[in-house]
Amino acid sequence: MELADWHNTDVTKALIKKLYEDRVMALEAIVSAEDKPKACGIVVGLTNAINIIENLEEGDLDAS
């Protein structure tokens, strides 16, 4: 599967949308979180996942 095709699948688009939504919720939780380092870690992890998906290049999904 070509990377452009993969990026345009409904599943990939839904995954990215969900990650963005979860990140916003985690950002909001930082304000009131008792465990701010944990909340910050969640935001960093979600941001890293989003960046990995959005910055994939051809060949990165080679399943062989």
pLDDT in tens, 1-42: 678 888 889 999 999 999 999 999 888 888 887 888 888 888
Res. 58 pLDDT band, cuts 50 70 90: confident
For residue 21, the model assigns a pLDDT of 94
For residue 1, the model assigns a pLDDT of 65
For residue 6, the model assigns a pLDDT of 83
Give rounded-to-5 percent helix, strand, coil for the chain: 75, 0, 25
